[in-house]
Amino acid sequence: MSVTAGLGPRLDRERFEAGSLAMLTPALALLGLLFVFPVLYAGYLGFTNLALVGSRSRDYSFTGLDNVVRMLGDYVFIKSSWLTILFVVGSAIIGQSVLGMVLALLLRNAVVPVRLVVGSIVIIAWVLPEITVALVWYAFSQAGGTLSILLGHREANYLVLVPMFIVSLANLWRNVAFSMLVFSAGLRNLPTEVLEAAEVEGASTWRRYTQVVLPLLRPTILTNLLLVTILNLSEFTLIYAMTQGGPGIETMTLPLYVYQEAFVFHQLGYGTAISLVLVLIGAIFSLLFVRAARSQA
Amino acid sequence: MSAVPARDSAKPTLIVVPYRRISAAALITNVVLILIGGFFVLPMLWMVFASIDSNPDWAIKLPTLTFANFADVIGTAGALTAFRSSLILAGTTTVISTVLAVLAAYPLSRMHIPFKRSFMLAILFASGLPVSMLIVPVYQMYVYFGWLDSLYTTALFLAASSLPFAIWLMKNFIDAVPVELEQAAAIDGASTFRILRQLVLPLTLPGIAVTAIYTFINAWGAFVIPFVLNSNPDDQPGPIEIYNFMGSHGLFKFGDLAVFSLLFSLPVILLYLFMSRYFSGAFSFSGAVRG
């Protein structure tokens, strides 16, 4: 006869408790209804000819690869994809990360009042509602705005002259604090011994940063790149409020094009198909960063 | 992990410079920082100056001091409605998202759940999905349910879209609380819900506050979701009002727009300042997802 008979379930192994299921259920229900289902539904709608109004709003059908074929011949879509990549690489991957790193390094060595004031201003720019950022940058870049006066061409509207550059700059201005905070935290957690050793050995400041600090920060840098890429790929509000994608289609990145196709031109199916491409681009970038992180470890 | 306090010993790495001699490098560092600070403060200054200027335009200039703009905005029904709508939208979102996140994060942190690691990875992945992808199917569902044009149903989707990150954040906070107290309580016969209510909740209050404030700040500034799901002109939240103002190219008073944006931005700045002393640790991502 077994010794354990009659002693109830064994206690030396972790078990699944019914109570935990009860606590998870509300979150799972909400996520299931308004997250998981819409994601799957998007995967279907992207291959249909669903419209917002008219007969196809009710009698839509699965159209296979029609939307994909349409995309490949769609000049606006191609341009929009390039603009999106330009925006993410220029504003987020290069601009935000480099300036964020520069700020994190400089702030460590700054005198206290400068550190407090500059650090707070950068963070306030990040905390401001996006629409406020859009407004102040709209004002900043208008003809007769501060930028045109600073550059000495009072009548120049830089939001029309170099729209992609201005929205990228505004976006960088808003998001730099995020990378700055991530890098500051990374720098704080570096082992002091290594830095001190490099200093004692007489390494120059430049060599200490390029050959000791940056390699040690590699995981932090890759995490930052992954996060800012994903966050910036779906940027909509700032660009839309400043330009609505214009002038022409000069700032029509993919999220704006999704909105325009779906809710302005009433092509819900085609709009969804474009949003799937956006997810695909995000997945490709993520994969690259994850592989880069693995190759080191 | 997020809650490990930063090691203070790691901060000062510079050679101690004698007080009066400022090295060239230190000088350059501070000057460059002040220049960068100028780049960040300039666009904001417009909003502040225009709000107290009796005759503002797009440029930053010394204001002809007036408080008429403030009186104008505070006196209009439209501005008050926008604040009320934003409060309902962001408040509802925050309550739903935070309560569900706390409930879900506890078992994810403490209990044995099959496929927990995969689930947390899925949660992290979900928080990175663009709203652009969800908005069309959700719009279709809202048409079907008859949920369009209501602040509360709009808040429900805002809550769903902020929930993955809230769960992830909340789980990290609970992970940081030592498990021994709960084990002792469990041995003494306390039920799971009693442990949650009397032990975990008080101990993770700062974490809950951070999660709630973070969700609120995002919902307060949310644009595209209410823009698509709520077209009822009587209860448009602040961001949409500002956008409509901007769209009416010059047909509005610059001063009023500046005042409204300034007032609309203040709550989130204050909330951030309140939260930041708890939040500083949340940016260390090393070992963020643990099974």
Which of B101, B130, B239 lies at the smallest CB-CB distance from A255? B130
What lies within 8 Å, CB to CB, of B279 at 6+ separation is: B210
Pair B97, B215: CB distance under 8 Å = yes
Task: Answer yes or no: do B47 and A136 touch at CB < 8 A.
Answer: yes
Which residue blocks in chain A are alpha helix, DSSP H?
Answer: 18-31, 37-45, 66-72, 75-87, 97-109, 112-127, 130-141, 146-150, 158-161, 163-188, 192-200, 205-208, 214-233, 237-243, 254-259, 268-296
Q: Of B138, B158, B124, B119, which Cα lies nearest the Cα of A28?
A: B119
Angstroms from B215 CA to nearest CA on chain A: 12
Pair A58, A64: CB distance under 8 Å = no
Task: Answer yes or no: do A188 and B220 touch at CB < 8 A.
Answer: no
Search chain B and give the residue with CA nearest A259. Answer: B132
- pLDDT at residue A238 in the model: 95
Identify the burial level of B223 via C-beta atoms within 10 angstroms of its C-beta, where 0-12 means exposed, 13-18 middle and 19 or more buried.
buried
- pLDDT at residue B228 in the model: 93
Check: pTM over 0.80? Answer yes or no.
yes
pLDDT reading at B268 higher than 70 = yes
pLDDT (tens digit, 9 = 90+) per residue, B85-125?
999 999 999 999 999 999 999 888 888 888 888 888 888 88
Comparison of pLDDT for B196 and B220, the residue scoring more: B220
Q: Which domains does chain B have, with CATH numbers?
A: 15-68 (no CATH), 70-282 (1.10.3720.10)
Q: Mutating which of B110, B127, B132, B266 best tests the A interface, going by the most A Cβ atoms within 10 A?
A: B132
pLDDT band of B206, cuts 50, 70, 90: confident
- Percent above pLDDT 70 for chain B: 86
Mean pLDDT for the stretch of residues B160-187: 89
Cα-Cα-Cα-Cα dihedral of A114, A116, A118, A123, to 10°?
170
CA A281, A284, A288, A289 dihedral sign is positive
Search chain A and give the residue with CA nearest B15. Answer: A199
Angstroms from A203 CA to nearest CA on chain B: 14
pLDDT reading at B140 higher than 80 = yes
Angstroms from B160 CA to nearest CA on chain A: 6
| Under-50 pLDDT residues of chain A | 1-2, 4
Q: Mutating which of B30, B32, B40 best tests the A interface, going by the most A Cβ atoms within 10 A?
A: B40
Which of A148, A241, A268 lies at the smallest CB-CB distance from B243? A241
- pLDDT at residue A239 in the model: 96
Search chain A and give the residue with CA nearest B128. Answer: A230
Which of B156, B246, B269 lies at the smallest CB-CB distance from A124? B269
pLDDT (tens digit, 9 = 90+) per residue, B59-96?
788 777 888 888 888 888 788 899 999 999 999 999 99
Written as one letter, the residue type at B209 is A
Residue B124 to residue A178: CA distance in whole angstroms: 18
Mean pLDDT for the stretch of residues B210-236: 92
pLDDT band of B252, cuts 50, 70, 90: low
- pLDDT at residue B1 in the model: 39
Mutual angle of helices B77-110 and B205-221, in 10-degree steps: 140
Q: Mutating which of A34, A114, A280 best tests the B interface, going by the most B Cβ atoms within 10 A?
A: A34
- pLDDT at residue B6 in the model: 45
- pLDDT at residue A210 in the model: 84
- What mean pLDDT is reported for chain B? 83
DSSP string, B148-204: TT-HHHHHHHHHHHHHHHHHHHHHHHHHTS-SHHHHHHHHTT--HHHHIIIIIHHHT
Mean pLDDT for the stretch of residues B231-252: 83
Which residues of A are less than 8 Å from B250 in CB distance?
A: none
Angstroms from B106 CA to nearest CA on chain A: 8
Residue B37 to residue B250: CA distance in whole angstroms: 30
Search chain B and give the residue with CA nearest A257. Answer: B132
pLDDT reading at B8 higher than 80 = no
Residue A166 to residue A41: CA distance in whole angstroms: 36
- Between residues 95 and 154 of chain A, which touch chain B (CB distance below 8 Å)? 99, 102-103, 106-111, 114-115, 117-118, 121-125, 127-132, 134-140, 142-146, 148-149
Task: Answer yes or no: do B281 and A142 touch at CB < 8 A.
Answer: no
Peptide bond before residue B43 is cis, with ω within 30 degrees of 0: no
pLDDT band of B15, cuts 50, 70, 90: low
Angstroms from A83 CA to nearest CA on chain B: 16
Which residues of B are less than 8 Å from A213 in CB distance?
A: none
Which of A20, A122, A192 lies at the smallest CB-CB distance from B40? A122
- ipTM at complex level: 0.86
Length of chain B: 291
- pLDDT at residue A125 in the model: 94
Angstroms from B26 CA to nearest CA on chain A: 7
Angstroms from B267 CA to nearest CA on chain A: 10
Q: Mutating which of B58, B102, B165, B170 best tests the A interface, going by the most A Cβ atoms within 10 A?
A: B58
Task: Answer yes or no: do A188 and B161 touch at CB < 8 A.
Answer: no
Which residues of B are less than 8 Å from A132 in CB distance?
A: 47, 242, 261, 264-265
Angstroms from A109 CA to nearest CA on chain B: 7
Task: Answer yes or no: do A282 and B128 touch at CB < 8 A.
Answer: yes
- pLDDT at residue B280 in the model: 53
Q: Of A152, A154, A157, which Cα lies nearest the Cα of A141?
A: A157
Task: Answer yes or no: do B238 and A129 touch at CB < 8 A.
Answer: yes
